[in-house]
């Protein structure tokens, strides 16, 4: 079970306290809701074992209570290149901060979610795990790391850690029964929805291909709120699949078992396995097979590995480091293809029969071949009007319009970051919200990349939009970005924020979101006539009161 003596003693401690009921706080930090899902499931199982559970999201958790906790199960995801999800930022900062308490009386476990295509896989979970140890808390179980295909794994790992908390008998049989009967986290049904419309939003000559896609959900029993995302099941490009099969000399019609179904190898490679991305675990498993000294030295060098993996697909790997691969090997090496998430760009109140998404197609040339992003490529190249897509709604409670319709709203969404704001605007129109709306949009060129231009200008004309401030970065020599437009309007932005406006940010996480937040702090400092440090504190307050919300990727 991976526990040491000390942990066993702890466990016995718990068991020897029959009088008082065991209490466990299940604390989750989530971005897309997966951690929430797992935390809920863990709570359910704990309760069924007579444990008293306090299930709480990190933003709602009073960190001053941490020092009094006895049993803590943390479920947390990692965002992008190893950062905490927004909802976990404060908790993460608190345990690393000066005010972090000693936690000698605490038993804890961590379930970490992540995406193994990133080098810093599950970093936030590991940060929290290591820091809780440093603060003197006792790990009741080793950290559990779950990849994007966690739904397969969670059923076998969750009972193990839960039994440590509940102090229950941990016989393998009990765990297995649990695994088969109780631990199903993936219960939401997928729905087939017909593609009603598919429009390329960029003009001829653009560097970009952004598609507006409308899906029919009439009578499908689906509802959603502005801010929610759509999960889409995608398929791999058959050309890439055939390239792989040819390279490996495998028979496409070989029958294999996958998720309890029999399929041909070709079908499975199209629908079930990830081949457009090579993750570090995948290349490591492949290296064991290939026994190639060049490949071995590559995987030992993190920086070089990262550089190599950037943009490479599985066929690149096969071409660069040839070796014999059996059907069985393939099944062992490849990761399951996860569903993809897109911010919904329509409002249910405005049109309950449809759901819209705005998809930026990822396409590039590498090693003399065309490469595509898996789902955007699928939606851009394969899917046509009249086709059916498998979809379901993914709630996003961290990105919500103010309940009070009179509150002003500032939205910053360059590129496909515009998507949720189209939904916000439709919603504000549908419910007749009186609060003013101000949109900042940016992209490369006015001529070809002003997404939803007609709609947005119409909204400005009819007053739904107070203004749409645009930044076309490449229409002039020097770059103009949305944050420059924010700065130009600094005095008014500051006024709005002072007056209680909500500020929303959506789009690129790595550069844009960081720069915009920095600019916002500068605006607060300049127009509030306070130091940058004080402005940063003020910004934190705005954020904790949920008047700053972001959905970045
Ligand atoms: P660029 O591609 O010309 O650099 C949407 O992709 C828009 O965001 C583009 O105009 C892009 O400009 C811009 N962008 C790139 N980096 C950015 C940053 N750090 N801050 C704000 N916008 C950025």
pLDDT of residue 3: 56
pLDDT of residue 259: 85
444 Cα: distance to centroid of ligand 1 (angstroms)? 7
Q: Cα–Cα distance between 237 and 239 in angstroms, integer? A: 5
487 Cα: distance to centroid of ligand 1 (angstroms)? 16
Q: Is the CB of 444 under 6 A from ligand 1?
A: yes
Structure tokens at 508: 């690129």
517 Cα: distance to centroid of ligand 1 (angstroms)? 14
Q: Is the CB of 473 under 6 A from ligand 1?
A: yes
Average pLDDT, the chain: 92
pLDDT tens digit sequence for 308-365: 999 999 999 999 999 999 999 999 999 999 999 999 999 999 999 999 999 999 989 9
Q: Cα–Cα distance between 137 and 3 in angstroms, integer? A: 15
Q: Is the CB of 474 under 6 A from ligand 1?
A: yes
Q: Cα–Cα distance between 259 and 268 in angstroms, integer? A: 10
Q: Which residues pair with 355 in a beta bridge?
A: 215
Q: Is the CB of 115 under 6 A from ligand 1?
A: no
Q: How far is the CA of 176 from the CAs of 48, 163, 318, in angstroms?
A: 16, 12, 38
Q: Is the CB of 145 under 6 A from ligand 1?
A: no
Q: Cα–Cα distance between 407 and 190 in angstroms, integer? A: 35
Contact status, residue 62 vs residue 109, Cβ threshold 8 Å? no
Structure tokens at 375: 């789902």
Per-residue b/e over 257-272, b at no fewer than 16 CB within 10 Å? eeeeeebebbbbbbeb
Query: What pairing do the DSSP bridges indicate for beta strands 502-507 and 409-412?
Result: parallel
- Of all protein residues, the one whose alpha carbon is nearest to atom 9 of ligand 1 is 443
Q: Is the CB of 414 under 6 A from ligand 1?
A: yes
Q: Best of 474, 512, 516, 552 to mutate for ligand 1, by most ligand atoms within 8 A of CB? A: 512
Block residue for tokens 């930026």: 360
- Of all protein residues, the one whose alpha carbon is nearest to atom 16 of ligand 1 is 512
473 Cα: distance to centroid of ligand 1 (angstroms)? 6
Q: Best of 446, 473, 482 to mutate for ligand 1, by most ligand atoms within 8 A of CB? A: 473
Atom of ligand 1 nearest to the CA of 472: 10
Q: Best of 359, 444, 475, 518 to mutate for ligand 1, by most ligand atoms within 8 A of CB? A: 444
pLDDT of residue 180: 43
5 Cα: distance to centroid of ligand 1 (angstroms)? 54
Structure tokens at 354: 């449809």
pLDDT of residue 8: 56
Block residue for tokens 């109780």: 182
146 CB-contact burial (10 Å; exposed 0-12 / middle 13-18 / buried 19+)? buried
Q: Is the CB of 415 under 6 A from ligand 1?
A: yes
Contact status, residue 416 vs residue 210, Cβ threshold 8 Å? yes
pLDDT of residue 150: 87
Q: Best of 360, 481, 513, 514 to mutate for ligand 1, by most ligand atoms within 8 A of CB? A: 481
Structure tokens at 505: 């940010």
- Of all protein residues, the one whose alpha carbon is nearest to atom 17 of ligand 1 is 512
Q: Best of 210, 421, 479 to mutate for ligand 1, by most ligand atoms within 8 A of CB? A: 479
Query: Cβ contacts of residue 288 below 8 Å, gap of 6+?
Result: none
Q: Is the CB of 515 under 6 A from ligand 1?
A: yes
Q: How far is the CA of 436 from the CAs of 213, 433, 456, 500, 517, in angstroms?
A: 28, 8, 14, 12, 22
* Tens of each residue's pLDDT in the chain, 553 residues: 455 656 655 555 555 445 468 999 999 999 888 999 999 999 999 999 999 999 999 999 999 999 999 999 999 999 988 999 989 999 999 999 999 999 999 999 999 999 998 889 999 999 999 999 999 999 999 999 999 888 878 878 888 999 998 875 443 344 444 444 455 666 678 999 999 999 999 999 999 999 999 999 999 999 999 999 999 999 999 999 999 999 999 999 999 999 889 999 999 999 999 999 999 999 999 999 999 999 999 999 999 999 999 999 999 999 999 999 999 999 999 999 999 999 999 999 999 999 999 999 998 999 999 999 999 899 999 999 999 999 999 999 889 999 999 999 999 999 999 999 999 999 999 999 999 999 999 999 999 999 999 999 999 999 999 999 999 999 999 999 999 999 999 999 999 999 999 999 999 999 999 999 999 999 999 999 999 999 999 999 999 899 999 999 8
pLDDT of residue 172: 39
Helix ranges (DSSP H) in 103-258: 123-134, 150-166, 172-181, 238-248
Q: Cα–Cα distance between 464 and 486 in angstroms, integer? A: 20
Contact status, residue 473 vs residue 512, Cβ threshold 8 Å? no
- Of all protein residues, the one whose alpha carbon is nearest to atom 20 of ligand 1 is 512
| Predicted TM-score of the model (pTM) | 0.88
Q: Cα–Cα distance between 532 and 478 in angstroms, integer? A: 26
pLDDT of residue 154: 84
pLDDT of residue 238: 96
Contact status, residue 74 vs residue 27, Cβ threshold 8 Å? yes
Q: Cα–Cα distance between 418 and 506 in angstroms, integer? A: 7
pLDDT of residue 168: 59
Q: Is the CB of 443 under 6 A from ligand 1?
A: yes
Q: Best of 442, 451, 472 to mutate for ligand 1, by most ligand atoms within 8 A of CB? A: 442
Terminal-residue alpha carbon distance, the chain: 36
Q: Cα–Cα distance between 49 and 47 in angstroms, integer? A: 5
pLDDT of residue 21: 84
Query: Cβ contacts of residue 508 below 8 Å, gap of 6+?
Result: 414, 415, 417, 552, 553
pLDDT of residue 179: 43
Q: How far is the CA of 7 from the CAs of 18, 23, 417, in angstroms?
A: 19, 18, 47
Q: Is the CB of 481 under 6 A from ligand 1?
A: yes
293 CB-contact burial (10 Å; exposed 0-12 / middle 13-18 / buried 19+)? exposed
443 Cα: distance to centroid of ligand 1 (angstroms)? 6
Q: Is the CB of 135 under 6 A from ligand 1?
A: no
Q: Is the CB of 512 under 6 A from ligand 1?
A: yes
- Cβ neighbours around 553 below 10 Å, total: 18
């Amino acid at each position: 079970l991976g526990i040491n003596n000390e942990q066993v003693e702890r466990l016995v401690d718990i068991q020897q306290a029959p009088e008082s009921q065991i209490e466990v706080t299940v604390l989750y930090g989530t971005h897309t809701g997966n951690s929430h899902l797992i935390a809920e499931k863990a709570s359910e199982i704990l309760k069924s074992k007579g444990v008293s559970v306090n299930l709480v999201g990190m933003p709602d958790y009073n960190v001053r209570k941490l020092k009094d906790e006895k049993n803590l199960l943390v479920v947390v995801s990692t965002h992008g290149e190893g950062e905490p999800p927004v909802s976990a930022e404060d908790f993460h900062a608190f345990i690393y901060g000066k005010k972090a308490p000693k936690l000698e009386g605490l038993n804890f476990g961590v379930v970490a979610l992540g995406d193994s295509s990133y080098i810093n896989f599950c970093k936030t979970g590991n940060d929290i795990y290591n820091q809780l140890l440093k603060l003197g808390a006792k790990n009741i179980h080793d950290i559990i790391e779950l990849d994007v295909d966690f739904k397969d794994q969670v059923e076998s790992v969750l009972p193990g850690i839960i039994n440590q908390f509940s102090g229950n008998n941990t016989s393998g049989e009990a765990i297995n029964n649990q695994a088969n009967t109780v631990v199903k986290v993936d219960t939401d049904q997928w729905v087939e929805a017909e593609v009603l419309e598919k429009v390329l939003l960029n003009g001829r000559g653009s560097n970009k291909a952004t598609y507006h896609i409308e899906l029919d959900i009439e009578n499908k029993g689906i509802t959603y709120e502005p801010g929610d995302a759509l999960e889409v099941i995608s398929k791999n490009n058959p050309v890439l699949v055939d390239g792989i099969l040819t390279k490996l000399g495998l028979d496409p019609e070989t029958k294999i078992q996958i998720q309890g179904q029999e399929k041909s190898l070709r079908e499975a490679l199209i629908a079930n396995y990830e081949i457009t991305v090579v993750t570090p675990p995948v290349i490591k498993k492949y290296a064991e097979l290939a026994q190639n000294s060049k490949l071995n030295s590559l995987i030992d060098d993190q920086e070089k590995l990262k550089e190599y993996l950037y943009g490479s697909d599985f066929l690149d790997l096969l071409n660069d480091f040839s070796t014999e691969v059996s059907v069985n090997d393939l099944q062992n090496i490849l990761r399951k293809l996860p569903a993809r998430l897109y911010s919904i760009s329509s409002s249910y109140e405005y049109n309950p029969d449809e759901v819209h998404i705005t998809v930026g197609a990822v396409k590039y040339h590498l090693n003399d071949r065309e490469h595509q992003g898996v789902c955007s490529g699928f939606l851009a190249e394969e899917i046509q009007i009249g086709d059916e897509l498998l979809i379901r709604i993914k709630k996003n409670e961290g990105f919500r319009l103010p309940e009070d319709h009179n509150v002003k709203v500032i939205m910053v969404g360059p590129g496909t970051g515009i998507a949720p704001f189209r939904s916000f605007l439709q919603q504000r129109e549908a419910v007749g919200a009186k609060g003013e709306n101000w949109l900042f949009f940016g992209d490369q060129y006015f001529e070809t990349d002003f997404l939803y231009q007609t709609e947005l200008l119409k909204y400005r004309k009819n007053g739904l939009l107070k203004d749409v401030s645009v930044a076309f970065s490449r229409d002039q020599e020097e770059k103009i970005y949305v944050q420059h437009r924010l700065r130009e309007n600094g005095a008014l932005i500051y006024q709005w924020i002072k007056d209680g406006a909500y500020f929303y940010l959506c789009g690129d996480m790595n550069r844009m979101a960081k720069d915009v937040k920095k600019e916002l702090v500068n605006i607060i400092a300049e127009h509030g006539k306070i130091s940058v440090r004080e402005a940063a504190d003020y910004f934190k307050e705005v954020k904790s009161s949920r008047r700053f919300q972001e959905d970045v990727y």
